[in-house]
Amino acid sequence: MAKILLIEDDKAVADSLSFVLQRKNHEITHATNTISAKHELGSKSFDCAFIDVWLGEEDGLEFLADNGELFSETPFIVISGGGPGRTLENVTARADAYGAVRMLFKPFEDTELLDALSLALESGKG
Amino acid sequence: MLHAINEHMKKNGAPPLAQADRRTRGLALLLEQTARLIYDEKHPQALHAVQWSALRFFDRAGEQTRTVAGLAKYLGVTSGPASRTTSSLLKRELVSVKPSPSDSRSRVYELTKAGRDILAEDPIQRVAFLLTELPEEDLSVLARTLDKIYSGLDT
Does the structure show a pLDDT above 60 at B100? yes
Q: Which residues of B touch A87 (CB under 8 A)?
A: 74-76
Residues of B in contact with A106 (CB under 8 A): 65
pLDDT digits (tens, 9 = 90+) for A56-86: 889 999 999 999 899 999 999 999 988 777 8
CB contacts under 8 A, B 43-82 vs A, are 53, 57, 60-65, 70, 73-76
Q: What is the pLDDT of residue B98?
A: 94
Query: pLDDT at position A126, please?
Result: 55
Flag whether residue B154 sits within 8 Å of chain A, measured between CB atoms: yes
| Closest by Cβ to B74, choosing from A87, A97, A109 | A87
Predicted local distance difference test score (pLDDT) of residue B12: 67
* Min distance B18 CA to chain A CA atoms (Å): 32
> Across residues A81-104, what is the average pLDDT?
92
Instruction: Please tell me the distance from the alpha carbon of residue A28 to that of residue A30, in angstroms, as a whole number.
Output: 6
Question: What pLDDT is recorded for position A62?
Answer: 94
Query: Residue B106: helix, strand or coil by DSSP?
Result: coil
* Mean pLDDT over the full length of chain B: 89
Q: Is the per-residue pLDDT at A124 higher than 80?
A: no
> Are B74 and B129 in a shared domain?
no
Whether B111 and B133 map to the same domain: the answer is no
Distances B87 to A47, A82, B7, B80, B96 between C-alpha atoms, Å: 42, 23, 40, 11, 10
Q: Which residue has the higher pLDDT, B131 or B39?
A: B131
In terms of domains, do B78 and B107 share one?
A: yes
Which one of A88, A92, A104, A106 would you mutate to disrupt binding with B, by most B Cβ within 10 Å of its Cβ?
Answer: A88
Of all residues in chain A, the percent with pLDDT exceeding 90 is 88
* pLDDT value, residue B7: 67
A106: nearest CA partner in chain B:
B65
Which of A17, A11, A1 lies closest to A109, judged by CA?
Answer: A17
Interface A–B counts its CB contacts (< 8 A) at: 53
| Residue range A11-33: mean pLDDT, rounded | 96
pLDDT digits (tens, 9 = 90+) for B77-94: 999 999 999 999 999 999
Q: Do B64 and B101 lie in a common domain?
A: yes
- Same domain assignment for residues B75 and B98: yes
Of B63, B74, B144, the CB nearest to A89: B74
**Minimal Cα–Cα distance from B62 to chain A, Å?**
6
Domain edges within chain A: 3-121
What's the pLDDT score for residue A102? 96
Tally of domains within chain B? 2
Residue B41: pLDDT over 90? no
B147: domain range? 2-40+123-154
pLDDT of residue B119: 96
Give the HSE-up count for residue A69: Cα atoms under 13 Å, Cβ half-sphere: 1
Residue B55 and residue B20 in one domain? no
Residue A106 forms contact with B (CB below 8 Å):
yes
Give the tens place of pLDDT for each residue, B104-152. 788 999 999 999 999 999 999 999 999 999 999 999 999 999 999 999 9
Residue B16 is predicted with a pLDDT of: 59
Average per-residue pLDDT for chain A: 94
Quick one: pLDDT at residue B21?
87
What was the pLDDT predicted at B103?
79
Fold classification of A3-121 (topology level): Rossmann fold (3.40.50)
B2, B63, B73: which to substitute to probe chain A, counting the most A Cβ within 10 Å?
B73
pLDDT of residue B18: 58
Least confident range of A113-122, B9-18, B31-40, B41-50: B9-18
Residues B33 and B55 in one domain: no
Q: What integer pLDDT is reported at residue B17 of this predicted model?
A: 57
In the predicted structure, residue B8 carries a pLDDT above the cut 90? no
Do residues B69 and B106 share a domain?
Answer: yes
Are A5 and A29 in contact, with CB atoms under 8 Å apart? Answer: yes
CATH of the domain at B110: 1.10.10.10
**Residue B29 and residue B78 share a domain:** no
